[in-house]
Amino acid sequence: MRIAITGGAGFIGKRLADALQQDGHQVVSIDLSEETPVDITDRQAVINAVSGCDAIYHLAAAHRDDIFPRSIYYDVNGKGTKNVIDAAEANGIDRIIFTSSFAVYGLNSGTPDEDSAPHPFNDYGKSKLEAETHLKLWAEKGEGRSLAIIRPVVVFGEGNRGNVYTLINQIASGKFLKIGSGKNKKSMAYVGNVADFLKFCLNGPEGMQLFNYADKPDLDVNEMLEIIYKGLDKEQPSFSLPYGIGLGAGYAFDGLARVTGKNFPISSVRIQKFCADTTCSAERCRQAGFEPRYSLEDGLKNMIDHEFAGRKKAKAA
């Protein structure tokens, strides 16, 4: 098959492209970082880029916590998705696999399954839910169409520069200070398993399928920190900052970011997310027949060995 991937040069997109190519598929990467850049907010450019393709993986998104103005989330994640839909219709493509986000459920939402009502708390989650609505309407309008919506939790792994990398880097640099008790649990997903599951969804049935994706069992923050400190050969301190004080500092950095236009590793959203229970049910993907290759501990160790091996060797020397 000839398969388009929006965001194909991104963290998950690269891993997915490799997996699809290993299975003999031809991949068309649609990304601003490619030699011929394509912006998904450019409708005609997307239509042209997917010409001749049999399926579209829609991964491109505005996803950082610190994007300003907030309208960018809706321009990229909402209108960009409508452009992908228009491109599919213009080229007779009837199969789309979309990476949404666990953020559509909101903070402290218990352990939602795919039937739980979404309550997004930030613009990223709201814009992803908007994208889902556009895609569901597309799937319902045409006979023979296949839509898979995957709502992954935090995805980490080699080459990632997201929140898990930031956490490990802060610990490796001796700049991490734990906020809260650490007893809150986190559903997480290793990129190798996510790419495998996305590939698995390529052969899904007609109609719409909705999946949460997380690798199980969940870790709480203390368990995750223990794995990271051990992987870095570092001793874990016992002190932690009370949540209220940490959140106040986050709001202060929010204001500083607006005034200076700079990005800071601390923000109120990141602290809220770090200290919240963010767990989900992910049984449906297993019931569909998917079995992940890696455990969460495997994934964290792989990431640490790939990204931080130099620091460990320097210490050992």
Which among 57, 73, 105, 124 is annotated as catalytic? 124
The Cα–Cα gap between 99 and 173 comes to 32
pLDDT, residue 315, reads: 52
pLDDT at 312: 60
pTM of the model: 0.89
Is the predicted pLDDT of residue 317 greater than 60, yes or no?
no
* Least trusted range by pLDDT, from 147-151, 203-207, 312-316: 312-316
- pLDDT on residue 313: 47
Are 187 and 102 in contact, with CB atoms under 8 Å apart? yes
Q: In CATH, which of 3.40.50.300, 3.60.10.10, 3.40.50.720, 3.40.50.1970 is domain 2-160+187-215+279-294?
A: 3.40.50.720
Phi, psi of 250 (to 5 degrees): -60, -45
Range with the poorest average pLDDT among 57-71, 88-102, 185-199, 224-238: 57-71
Average pLDDT over all residues of the chain = 94
Q: Which has the closest alpha carbon to 210: 128, 291, 144?
A: 128
Q: Report DSSP letters for 215-234, one per residue.
A: EEEEEEHHHHHHHHHHHTT-
**Domain coordinates of the chain in residue numbers?**
2-160+187-215+279-294
Q: Cα(53)–Cα(26) distance, rounded to whole angstroms?
A: 9
H or E segment to which residue 58 belongs: strand 55-58
pLDDT at residue 280, rounded to an integer: 94
* 3-state DSSP assignment of residue 57: strand
Mean pLDDT confidence for 36-56: 98
Secondary structure class of 188 (helix, strand, coil): strand
Of residues 99 and 63, more confidence is placed in 99
Q: Mean pLDDT across the stretch 216-225?
A: 97
pLDDT over 90 at 139, yes or no: yes
Neighbours of 286 (CB within 10 A): 12
**Residue 155 above 60 pLDDT?**
yes
Beta strands in 236-301 (DSSP E): 240-241
Residue 124 annotated in active site: yes
DSSP character string of 160-171: --SHHHHHHHHH
Confidence of residue 163 (pLDDT cuts 50, 70, 90): confident
pLDDT at 316 over 50: no
Q: Using DSSP bridges, classify how beta strands 146-152 and 207-213 pair: parallel, antiparallel or unpaired.
A: parallel
Q: Which of 238, 227, 236, 194 is nearest to 304 (CA)?
A: 227
Q: Give the 3-state secondary structure of residue 140.
A: helix
Q: Which of 27-31, 104-108, 259-263 has the lowest mean pLDDT?
A: 104-108
Give the max Cα distance, the chain: 64
Tokens matching residue 190: 């290793």
Q: Give the residue-averaged pLDDT of 97-104.
A: 96
